[in-house]
Amino acid sequence: MTPIIRKIKKTLIVLLFIFGATLVSSSQAQSPQGESPISKTDDNLKKAKPIYKEQIRFFENQRYSVPAKFEYLPVGDINPKGWILDIMKQDISSGFVASLDELAPDLMKGDDLFNTSRRKSLKDIPDVGDQILTGADWEVSMQWWAGESLGNWWDGYVRNSFLTKDKTAIENSKIIVDKILSSQDNDGYIGIYSKAMRYKHEGSNGELWTQTTVFRMLLAYYELTKEKKVLTAVERAMAVTMNNYNEKAKSPFDVNIDYGGVSHGLMMTDVCEELYRITKKKKYIDYAVYLYKEFSTYPINRGMNDVRYEYLMEEDSLFQSHSAHTYEHLRTLINAYYSTGYPELEKAFNIAMKKLSYCILPSGAGFGNEWLNKEKAKPDSTGAEFCGMVELSDFYTSAVQKTGDVKYADQVEKITFNAMQGARNKDGSGITYCKTDNCYLLNRTAPQHNNHEYDPRYKYSPTHADAAVCCNPNYGRHLPYYVSRMWMKSYDGIAAVLYGPSALSTLVKGTMVSIEQATNYPFSDEIIFMVNPKKKTEFTLSFRKPSWTKSMTIEASDAQVILEDGFYKVKKQWEKGDVVRISFKNEILPTKWNKNDIYFQKGPLVYAYAIKHTEKIVKDYNLSHFHDYYCISNDDTYKNISFLNNADVKFIHEELPIYENPWYSENTYLKVDALNSETNKHMEIRLVPMGNTVLRRVTFPNK
């Protein structure tokens, strides 16, 4: 391959990554159809007729909503403490979350697409720097791309700012919001298109998707500040969209072609759910169901719609679409079921969960080398994209909120503490776009092809601008969302759904209640809950019993304690100064991955062998402490490690003072009696929490 051809190939790969597609050559993984998902010859991208037939006619039936087990609390009622606060402070002060607009200025600062640079025609393509445009239809997707990156970054930035009480970031957040509100048209429209284009789309567009990312941020800002004008602005903007896309007008999914923006737009259902929670106006939930019905009516791009009803009912097939789409759309599916009670959607959800099970890695992440490709998760070769991690985690919180099933909360903790933390570098200056659980090398090559193919997503970067600036903006959302979902409202009180150092202040049965969760969890098996209601009042505190916990001790004076549906329910007359102490008996669990391999887990933490490595900087940014860099192994020990049945495993742990950050310390690890498969001699190895690793091995042969 000549240098010129190689350069052209890399340029094309970069362009295709940006819009959720992958260049396919004879040596690369094929799409589900055996060719590039955006090929002009791909019949799946041609105009398709609606399939509103008997299969989805059940949407006309009477609806009987299913009561959700819990209700989300307002953003801001729960605040981080301890190590969670430490990491969020680092992110919003010196990490890339604080400076993404300076690190990727052309996309994040130079394109004012919600205001002065609204798109005026299909030829109105923004400057894309060194990338080469060819005039292809898919390039219209560039019109909306900055809206996704900006909206998600703003969402994470605003939440981090207020939850950490960072004064500078709060002022910047106010500037962001004021600018968005000032762009609102007289009719209420907020978005990226001029009047000549909006709601008239025949092809790929980001109308609903870019609105979704910004409206999620605005609703969080409203709850954090209580500024009514912000809620009013979102409701007015939603009214415009709902008046233009509805049963009597045009369907948002009735388009000729989609390269991701249209199908991402299904996530307007997130906004509908939040607006319903805040306003209790049923029209928003009805609109969310309408969106899923329309999504199931128009096929659009097969590479973006695994969760379309028709495809879910292919029970024996595996997921094959773009992973972030698949994981985020699961939220819409479960919302549609709980909003309607349709047994058809209940069955579809159960099928989706079976398909999802094949995607889950030991770290808790769902894999996605962009595409799922009808594959099953493999720790060595199927990397997990950070966008997919965020979307899957948010689905799990939505699922536990509706079903009350603790297994979904378990998955939130597992993916957060292992996969997500294990993709972030120590100082918050970069993340990996994609990373495998067994990660032996990070140098812009593809583990799915034995590191013989170029793939810019496998490295550390504050932007990943050579692939797509999508995972870095999404990173900023993950801990604020985790914090805001830790407690949920139940019919008889409140429930501790997720654990970690935090402080709650919320209304419970009309009384303001404050609860501090003092712990170094997940490194500690002990949590102290300090309960302080404004006045003496009776309610139930519910505490989740994780599936990995053999037993759980609850200490609460003068309380009734029962275990019900996976939660310990503690009922009493609460007063200032009350304390609940809980402790978990978490054993070291050798967990089978397949017939031959195992990994170790204790509590929510998965343990890994940390591979010694060398870092190589390959790009500098205008801010001095930010770089793109490779990680190259200089330790081959991991290749020869295997475990014996009933091997001696010791848990070494030094309890730190409460709220002292336990990450990256050496106070917690496993000592394992292993076998060197090359010399056949015993060796003692150390396994550390996966979230503390860069290069690592998680699964090992078991002999």
Amino acid 299: pLDDT: 83
Q: Which two tokens stand for residue 317?
A: 């097939």
Q: Is the pLDDT of residue 626 over 90?
A: yes
Amino acid 456: pLDDT: 94
User: Given pLDDT bands bounded at 50, 70 and 90, which one contains residue 501?
Assistant: very high
User: Given pLDDT bands bounded at 50, 70 and 90, which one contains residue 13?
Assistant: very low
Q: Is the pLDDT of residue 409 over 50?
A: yes
Amino acid 17: pLDDT: 41
Q: Which two tokens stand for residue 411?
A: 């998955």
User: Given pLDDT bands bounded at 50, 70 and 90, which one contains residue 142?
Assistant: confident
Amino acid 140: pLDDT: 81
pTM of the model: 0.93
Residue whose C-alpha is closest to residue 695's, from 427, 423, 503, 381: 423
Question: In whole angstroms, what is the distance from residue 72 CA to residue 395 CA?
Answer: 13
Per-residue pLDDT tens for 547-564? 999 999 999 999 999 999
Phi, psi of 656 (to 5 degrees): -90, 160
Amino acid 26: pLDDT: 26
CA-based end-to-end distance of the chain: 43
pLDDT (average), residues 13-19: 41
User: Given pLDDT bands bounded at 50, 70 and 90, which one contains residue 646?
Assistant: confident
pLDDT (average), residues 602-608: 98
For residue 615, the Cα-to-chain-centroid distance in whole angstroms is 27
User: Given pLDDT bands bounded at 50, 70 and 90, which one contains residue 257?
Assistant: confident
Amino acid 24: pLDDT: 28
Higher per-residue pLDDT: 135 or 435: 435
Question: Could you give the percent of the chain with pLDDT greater than 90?
Answer: 82
Q: 493-496 and 537-544: which strand pairing?
A: parallel
Amino acid 647: pLDDT: 81
pLDDT (average), residues 335-348: 98
For residue 499, the Cα-to-chain-centroid distance in whole angstroms is 18
pLDDT (average), residues 297-324: 94
Of 220-224, 295-299, 413-417, which range is least confident? Answer: 295-299
- On whether the CB atoms of residues 403 and 69 are closer than 8 A, the answer is yes
User: Given pLDDT bands bounded at 50, 70 and 90, which one contains residue 677?
Assistant: confident
User: Given pLDDT bands bounded at 50, 70 and 90, which one contains residue 125?
Assistant: confident
Domains of the chain: 15-59+74-129+140-484 (1.50.10.10), 487-519+526-585 (2.60.40), 596-701 (no CATH)
pLDDT (average), residues 499-507: 98
- Give the DSSP H or E segment for 334: helix 323-340
Question: Could you give the percent of the chain with pLDDT greater than 70?
Answer: 91
Question: In whole angstroms, what is the distance from residue 408 CA to residue 391 CA?
Answer: 13
Of 295-309, 472-486, 597-611, which range is least confident? Answer: 295-309
Q: Is the pLDDT of residue 367 over 50?
A: yes
Question: In whole angstroms, what is the distance from residue 322 CA to residue 308 CA?
Answer: 13
pLDDT (average), residues 94-100: 98
Question: In whole angstroms, what is the distance from residue 89 CA to residue 166 CA?
Answer: 8
Tell the burial category of 660 from Cβ atoms under 10 Å away from its Cβ (0-12, 13-18, 19+): middle
pLDDT (average), residues 628-644: 93
Per-residue pLDDT tens for 26-67? 223 322 222 223 333 344 444 445 655 678 999 999 999 999
Give 266-298 as a DSSP string.
GGHHHHHHHHHHHH--HHHHHHHHHHHHHHHH-
User: Given pLDDT bands bounded at 50, 70 and 90, which one contains residue 267?
Assistant: very high
Give 596-639 as a DSSP string.
SEEEEEETTEEEEEEPPEEEEEEEE-SSTT-EEEEEEE---GGG
